[in-house]
Amino acid sequence: MLKTLMSTAVIALVLTGCSTAKKQPEPAPQISPQAQINFETYTAEEFYKTTSVFGSSINHSGSAVLVSNDDSGIFNAYKVPVDGSKTTQLTFSTEESIFVESWFPKDDRFLYSADKGGDELNHLFVKDLEGNEVDLTPGEGLKAMMLSWHEDDDSFFVMTNERDAKYFDVYQYSTADYSRNLIYKNESGFTVESMSPNGRFIALSKNHSNSNTDLYLVDLRLKMNKPRLITEHEGDVSYYAYTFTKDNKQLLYATNEFGEFNQAWTYDIATSESELNYKADWDVSFSYFSKDGRYQITGINADAQTQLTITDHNNNRELSLPTLPSGDLRGVNFSQDSKSMVFYINSDTSPSNLYSHKVGTDKVLRLTNSGNPAIKEQNLVAGEVIRFKSFDGVEIPAILYKPKQAEFSKVPALIYIHGGPGGQSRKGYSATVQHLVNNGYAIVKINNRGSSGYGKTFFHLDDKRHGEDDLQDVVYNKKYLQTLDWVDAEKIGVMGGSYGGYLTMAAMAFTDEFKVGINIFGVTNWVRTLESIPPYWEAFRKSLYDELGDPATDKERLHNISPVFFGHQVKSPVLVVQGANDPRVLKIESDEMVESIRSGGTHVDYLVFDDEGHGFSKKENRVSASNKYLVFLKAYL
């Protein structure tokens, strides 16, 4: 969270004018007739006929799953029966995406969140049994989030920053009439992590630096409910809460105290003793329980791919599942009685599909068909995890996608950089990546130093070295690509979103290594960005400054790594994509970046989506952006 500037969102298309290119674009690579016979290529429209779907809340009767999908072109709520019968659309928004949270535990009301045009100021809504949609967190300028349900099923917990824009308080809402009580006033800059099922305890975290955090526990039954430190330690150690156990006796939390990777530990509230719960050779990313506490679902971030285990606490054995389709198991959720479960399967060549399974049987039923049936999976490409050495010998992981066209001729390549800066490129389906690969471009999704998932040392290698050492990782990724006999060594570009957009612009402004750059809502002015962070980031402002620099004291360095001040140095064509409502990367940044590049006489295209924020929420805009990527790349790479 502390190293992530990226989220989701985007809107109506506006294409501004461009300056004249310095040189004529080269013709697109010609594909041999033999290649065309052996595989098919598809348009962006065809790739985005796939449906994105998420959500796995099972209703009180165990008969249906609550999901969001973008089948209508924008995310709406849907009811998916577990017996495979017809899906029912529950909301009909045409402007704002609907992100489902949960069914009510005793009836078919449900909670969802939505913002306005990608501004990230989400409100929490309920849709009642009569079809009315009620804003539970009305007001201007606030942000609200669902926290959890009370174990009695008659109330739920919500966080909002309405009292103080910098910090989130906790409210308890009644399911009967939506009345609420403020149960925890956050006046000391804590981050609310988790709520015990009985509503008695709240787990909080406090960031001392970007490598040192603590966990605190609040007992709301005490008159002076002062947060109590439960992770006293020395040195730089990070902690965060996963969840409470269902008997309210223990807190399950993550720590990297005992090595490079996060392990799962339990803290006993009565005795104040901690005990190892789960460890692996990679980070334990998450761990949670079924509603009755019988099953514990734990996810391991194993080399950019999720490995998931389900432990049956009745016998302390791993739950045996029938043979499943190939891909990552994700989004597991159990019915209230734990007799059935739902989950997603996702792979590089197939978007997420929802399945249901009756525990103890061999029956697995597919509930969604997210892919476009016109796209044959054999025409798509699975990524291969590779590693290369950077300028200082540090080994950098990446995921390489080799297009079918590479069997017949050398192909151009793109280094695709994730957001963050502490994000991670992972295996899994991406319509954008598959569209580019299918049309003849090699893609390598780099996990440059500072990426999460490879240990705390690797994670902190880029601290206050952004635009320097991590940029050299990108350059050395290019050198690696040039060793592959199927890559055209003279036709390598770079692209990325958010922090990846920043490194893209840094690569274009501070090096002459790349033939093109595609900057998707990327930071270009670190001074402005760090001076204008949203107020609700206050709890981890210091951590952000520890990593990137404090604009009050590090302004010179932040200026020197900000591409907007050096756009005149860009020598090769650039495409800039921006959401007009982006609260993280303000549109003025991209405006100024475009003008800065044009001042040097270099070609730049500028694509603005008027109804999006920091990302793409509308399918129409994803199609428009992907088409523009391909047109731009065919012209200049």
For the stretch 406-423, pLDDT in tens is 999 999 999 999 998 899
CA separation, residue 272 to residues 88, 124, 249, 607, 610 (Å): 48, 35, 11, 55, 52
Q: What is the pLDDT of residue 411?
A: 98
Cα 66 to Cα 84: distance, rounded to the nearest angstrom: 14
Q: What is the pLDDT of residue 619?
A: 87
* Tokens representing residue 6 in the block: 């990226």
Q: Per-block average pLDDT, block size 10, for the chain (637 residues)?
A: 38 30 42 57 94 95 96 95 96 95 97 92 96 96 96 97 96 97 94 97 94 96 91 95 98 97 98 97 97 96 95 95 90 95 95 95 94 93 97 98 96 96 93 97 98 96 93 98 98 96 97 97 92 83 87 93 96 95 88 95 94 86 94 96
Q: What is the pLDDT of residue 165?
A: 93
3-state DSSP of 179-197:
CEEEEECCCCCCEEEEECC
For the stretch 583-622, pLDDT in tens is 888 899 999 999 999 999 999 999 999 888 888 888 899 9
Q: Delineate the domains of the chain, giving CATH numbers in brackets.
A: 13-47+375-636 (3.40.50.1820)
Cα 373 to Cα 36: distance, rounded to the nearest angstrom: 20
Q: What is the pLDDT of residue 8?
A: 33
Q: 13: closest CA among 619, 460, 637? A: 619
- Beta strands of 142-262 (E only): which ranges? 144-149, 155-160, 169-174, 180-184, 191-195, 201-209, 212-219, 228-229, 239-244, 250-255
Angle between helices 431-438 and 619-636 (to 10 degrees): 30
Output the CA torsion sign for 203, 207, 208, 214.
positive
3-state DSSP of 63-83:
CEEEEEECCCCECEEEEEECC
Q: What is the pLDDT of residue 331?
A: 94
Q: Which helix (H) or strand (E) holds 465?
A: none
Query: What's CA 179's distance to the chain center, in Å?
Result: 33
